[in-house]
Structure 1
């Protein structure tokens, strides 16, 4: 089967929407009934918890699924996502027959809510391609089958689904806007990020205040607020945590 990714014209937002429409059409051509794509610039928090994606596209799934995964913590409990993060190879999963799939031994109490949801909404099995990207970015493309289908038949689609996932990622990534490329686990203001960026370069609060034409007290307030949001106990730890979450990348020094 020949798979081609169309490069949409027009604005980036419209182009990305068109790209996902094409991707869904092509996953359906492989025999999948529903599709999920997710991307996050940082996969895990410093505490080891999965970070909710910056970009999540779901097609032909129940209406409440997005809210549950993004706002109710289902993404953090999703055993398919845990399997994907631990694997570089595509895999077949099944909630009906987990012993025959990558979910063997993974459906514990932590995953119970997700397991019941997938079974109750007739989404028992599918295939997932992990996308481990440069600079720590992580994404997955998942095709879902509604109704019963032998997992061995899904295995026949893995090569095509993998090719499709990587071609899509290469084509669509330039269309991602800045908000999609920013980790949403911690939200810092522009001034807090700027002060931390200067601190990462070794400047003291007094030196940062001179750079920004602000008082030392104001700069100290920004640094302390950023540290509190990051769960840091001191300025150095705040910088390290901000770097982990890629909050200082591309930070421009200058007056705002």
Structure 2
């Protein structure tokens, strides 16, 4: 078992692990050998790239898979994740015959490292349930078979896998802390977010300074730093980008 959580108190993390253990048991009963769960409060960047999940959990996968997906860009090159964002329906996928599976509409050369890795590790096919959540959050639950498997057999499990996935998400979501629900793609300080939030309301730096009992120079510094971190060219664009990443909601 491997799990990547950005932050969570010990008791909370323990409860999450228990929940994942139960989920793995349920997917195993459906015939899946490995299971992956991921959650991100914002699924893609302003440039359209997938954002590495705040929570990424894997059962019965190769030891290097978690680090490859969470730290080395394999998540961004995963065609299953790319396709999952485009649909609300559970689907079966195949790396044995990708041109005959749902993945055919998204596959590019960029995805080749993931295809090679999955084939080399005898994880040729599986099924995924996309979880499009209120407020823009996104997750998936994926069951993977190891060795030779027919995609038609997996298709028969989709309805039950979907029920398990949505029930699990509903039960586990209350365990997510504020850190897990905050997009980690761009990190702004509390004061930077506060200044941007007031800027989003139409206040000038001088008016924000009066609200926060700070100098105009200090407020301007916070706004300029946030603008730079967000890759924006001006404060209006910075507010738009901060809203996309849901950084003004906390």
1:165 aligns with 2:165: yes
Which residues of 2 match residues 153-232 of structure 1 at below 5 A?
A: 153-232=153-232
What is residue 63 of structure 1 aligned with on the other side? 63
1:7-156 → structure 2 map (5 Å cutoff): 11-104=11-104, 106-156=106-156
When the two structures are superposed, what TM-score results if normalisation uses the length of structure 2? 0.93
For 1:6-60, what per-residue CA distance to the aligned partner results, in whole angstroms no more than 9, with x for missing partners? xxxx943222221111111111111101100011111111111111111111111
Distance 2:229 2:36 in 1: 31
Distance 2:106 2:221 in 1: 45
Distance in 1 separating the partners of 2:105 and 2:89: 18
Q: Distance in 1 between matches of 2:153 and 2:240?
A: 46
Distance 2:135 2:245 in 1: 11
Match of 2:3 in 1: none
Whether contact under 8 Å (1:100, 1:151) holds in the other structure is no
Structure 1, unmatched stretches of 5+, are: 1-9, 251-256
- Cα distance, 1:66 vs structure 2: 1.2
- The CA deviation at 1:97 is 1.6
In the aligned structure 2, how far is the partner of 1:236 from the partner of 1:87? 32
State the TM-score, normalized to the length of structure 1.
Answer: 0.91
Whether the 8 Å contact between 1:107 and 1:115 is mirrored in structure 2 is: no
Q: Tell me the alpha carbon deviations over residues 206-238 of structure 1, each in whole angstroms, 9 at most, x when there is no partner.
A: 121122222111110100000011111111111
Cα distance in 1 for residues equivalent to 2:106 and 2:90: 17
Shift of 1:105: 5.1
SS in 2 for 1:103: helix
Q: Which runs of 5+ in 2 are unaligned?
A: 1-9
Deviations 1:167-191 (A, max 9, x none): 0011110111111101111110111
**After TM superposition, which residue ranges in structure 1, 4 or more long, deviate above 4 angstroms?**
none
Please provide the CA RMSD for this pair: 1.3
Q: Retained in 2: the 8 A contact 1:58–1:66?
A: yes
Alpha-carbon distance in 1 for matches of 2:190, 2:107: 41
